[in-house]
């Protein structure tokens, strides 16, 4: 896939790590989304199931999954070798973990699908979710969990890093934070012959706000804060939801 301006990770891979290396090492508390992921996986996991983490970054979700399932068969993939190399170092002693560079916009493991697939906090950074979702489901046997932003309307948002634009006013350096119309998302998944259950995002607002004030303090970290009980990233209301997708 060609790395366009929207793929800011190709330009600044260490920025997208943010706090994730420390979380993978156990030096920072578990994220609220990770707590819910472990809960959701626990509801469907059976011994000997294989799990695929798409957009794994440095493998930070694995630490929490491992505390619950010591011998869980885990594979993490990410489009950027920078993260895969770090994940391999962090989890070098984990004999049940495997990391590989793969692009979600290309076929993943359609010939050898995984029992459980999850993709968290990834899709809203893309200009479109359809090809990634199709590739995720093609690699899923039993259930796929996706955490993304859904609401009543679609909002295509470009969060600009630097005020530089082309002649038509398009930003040259930015990051997507897209919210999709939930009915549009559901209809697309159903068109692929899968069932969708939307699950509300669970979080402790005091934990998120404390982290925003004490940990996520760097410029462009774009950490999540709480305003009137809602999760907010810069000037964007983050309508996080979980999609639990299963075969019809």
Q: By the 8 A CB rule, do 129 and 179 touch?
A: no
Q: What is the pLDDT of residue 218?
A: 58
Full set of structural domains in the chain with CATH: 8-203+240-247 (3.40.50.150)
Q: What is the pLDDT of residue 12?
A: 73
Q: How far is CA 72 from the centre of its chain?
A: 20
Q: What is the pLDDT of residue 20?
A: 87
Q: What is the pLDDT of residue 1?
A: 41
Reported pTM: 0.93
Residue 72 backbone dihedrals phi, psi, to 5 degrees: -60, 135
The series of mean pLDDT values per 10 residues for the chain, 248 residues long, is 63 72 90 96 96 96 94 96 95 96 96 97 94 98 98 93 90 91 98 98 93 70 84 90 97
């Amino acid at each position: 896939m060609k790395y366009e301006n929207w793929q800011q990770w190709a330009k600044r891979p260490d920025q997208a790590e943010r706090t994730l290396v420390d979380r993978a090492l156990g030096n920072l508390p578990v994220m609220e989304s990770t707590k819910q992921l472990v809960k959701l996986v626990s509801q469907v996991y059976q011994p000997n199931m294989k799990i695929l983490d798409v957009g794994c970054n440095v493998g930070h979700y694995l630490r929490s999954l491992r505390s619950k399932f010591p011998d869980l068969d885990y594979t993490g993939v990410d489009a950027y070798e920078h993260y895969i190399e770090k994940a391999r170092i962090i989890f070098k002693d984990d004999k049940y973990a495997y990391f590989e560079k793969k692009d979600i916009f290309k076929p993943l493991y359609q010939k050898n699908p995984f029992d459980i697939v999850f993709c968290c906090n990834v899709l809203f950074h893309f200009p479109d979710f359809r090809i990634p979702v199709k590739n995720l489901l093609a690699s899923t046997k039993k259930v796929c969990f996706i955490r993304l932003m859904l609401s009543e309307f679609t909002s295509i948002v470009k969060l600009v890093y630097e005020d530089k634009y082309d002649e038509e006013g398009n930003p040259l350096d930015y990051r997507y934070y897209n919210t999709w119309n939930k009915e549009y998302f559901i209809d697309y998944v159903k068109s692929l012959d899968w069932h969708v259950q939307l699950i509300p995002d669970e979080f402790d607002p005091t934990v998120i706000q404390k982290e925003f004030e004490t940990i996520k303090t760097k410029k462009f970290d774009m950490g999540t804060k709480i305003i009137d009980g809602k999760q907010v990233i810069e000037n964007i209301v983050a309508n996080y939801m979980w999609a639990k997708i299963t075969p019809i």
